Structure 1
């Protein structure tokens, strides 16, 4: 008579993924943000895993969590395993939909830089479908299902153009601004993501002046640009994002002073796209469209 012993239960993949992310990123909240779940869900998954193992992977303290000796020993293997799984998933997606290119980018870049270029890109490569996901922080391309990432970044490789900032406003408002000091009495719009723009520019344009911008703060840079076009005030323009408005004359730069930041608009991938493949063609086209 054949003997069929019970098979030991596998550890839940979602729990293993939650452990790896929390261990690699140093906390449950950071892991939740990467995985797109709540911190409570990460906590529950890790607890499930620890219960199944009969061993703790994290020590909980009032200051957060830290890995146990067991957690530290196994983390490198899990990082390598999930990196490999991410690579396999990306390969599977490319093979299943070989003519779709997925791009992750900032909302402002998607609206002001990428979107205006899409009609010409589709005309140049009508057989390629472009999928764009807007997000506030660059994804981990070893895990996330994106072919290309387009963000402001300090790394020089893949840089399309430098990030240069300077005040911009509607032409009617510019007529009332003769020198940077006139901004004291102007409505100066700000963007929540780049909250230090005004201070960075003023430090070079008005050294020694205690300039504090007065005006509304926007959570979407594209909305701040639109309000600036409408005459609501003066905004620090990022050259790549306001170039089209400057060419059309919707916006003007009232002062000559421009500040080059130590970062640029950068297009990159986890690994070089296949030469001549859809992602490679899209990347080269966008690089040439600067």
Structure 2
């Protein structure tokens, strides 16, 4: 009579993924954000895995968690395995839809930089479908379903343009400004993503004026539109407001500009093979002309 002993249970894949993300990112909250679940779910998965193994993977402290020796020993292999799995999944997805390109980008870049270029891109490659997802932070391209990432960061490789900032406003408001000291008389708009813009730019002045607190917007594109509507001054990111300046909707009333260490960067964590749709789109975006900013306005 054949013997059929019960097979030992496999370790649950979701728990292994939660452990790897928490270990790699240094915490359950960061892992939850990457995996798109709650921190409580990550905690439960890790506890389940530790219970199944009969050994702890993390040491809990009032300041957070840290890996045990067992966790440190096993993390590199799991990271490599999930990276390989992510690559295989993305290769499968690309093979199933070879003429579709998925781009992850910041909402402001999607609305103010990428969207105006899409008609010309469609005309250049009508057989390619470009899908855009707006995210607040760059995704892990080894694990997520995106071919290209387009964000501001401080890495030089893949940079399209520097990030230069300066105040902008509607023409009617610009006519009432004589110099940077007049900023104190008008609302200064800001957005949640770049909340320190005004402080950074004001340090270029020998005598920085007080910056009145104006409305704060969760979307930079909305702040730009309100600036066009005359609601106040806004720190413009040249890459994003160049078209508004070129057509006169916004004016740069002062000559002082600040170029930050970061810049607009387009990259992929996977090789973009020649002849693929993702490679074509990436090359096209790198060659796409930037709108030429109008000369800085001066006032008597």
TM-score range, shorter chain: over 0.9
Distance in 1 of aligned mates of 2:255 and 2:34? 41
Shift of 1:59: 1.1
Match of 1:133 in 2: 133
1:138-287 residue pairs with structure 2 within 5 A? Answer: 138-204=138-204, 206-209=205-208, 211-287=210-286
CA offsets, 1:66-122, max 9 Å, x none?
111111111111111111111111111111111110100000000111011111111
Distance in 1 of aligned mates of 2:237 and 2:40? 38
Structure 2: gaps (5+ residues): 291-300
Q: Given that residues 180 and 209 in structure 2 are in contact (C-alpha distance below 8 angstroms), is that contact kept between their aligned partners in structure 1?
A: no
Structure 1: gaps (5+ residues): none
Shift of 1:210: 5.3
Shift of 1:63: 1.3
Q: Given that residues 184 and 209 in structure 2 are in contact (C-alpha distance below 8 angstroms), is that contact kept between their aligned partners in structure 1?
A: no
Q: Detail structure 1 runs of 4+ shifted over 6 Å in the superposition.
A: none
Distance in 2 of aligned mates of 1:213 and 1:75? 49
Distance in 2 of aligned mates of 1:211 and 1:157? 37
Moved more, 242-251 or 229-238: 242-251
Match of 2:122 in 1: 122
SS of equivalent to 1:150: strand
Q: Given that residues 202 and 211 in structure 1 are in contact (C-alpha distance below 8 angstroms), is that contact kept between their aligned partners in structure 2?
A: no
Match of 1:103 in 2: 103
What TM-score do the two structures reach when normalised by structure 1? Answer: 0.97
Distance in 1 of aligned mates of 2:123 and 2:72? 51
SS of equivalent to 1:242: helix
What's the Cα RMSD here? 1.0
SS of equivalent to 2:212: coil
Distance in 1 of aligned mates of 2:137 and 2:212? 26
Match of 1:70 in 2: 70
Shift of 1:180: 0.6
Distance in 2 of aligned mates of 1:232 and 1:193? 19
CA offsets, 1:101-150, max 9 Å, x none?
01000000001110111111111111111111111111111111110000
SS of equivalent to 2:190: strand
Match of 1:20 in 2: 20
Distance in 1 of aligned mates of 2:34 and 2:207? 41
Distance in 2 of aligned mates of 1:198 and 1:136? 20
Q: Given that residues 183 and 211 in structure 2 are in contact (C-alpha distance below 8 angstroms), is that contact kept between their aligned partners in structure 1?
A: no
SS of equivalent to 1:190: strand
SS of equivalent to 2:203: helix
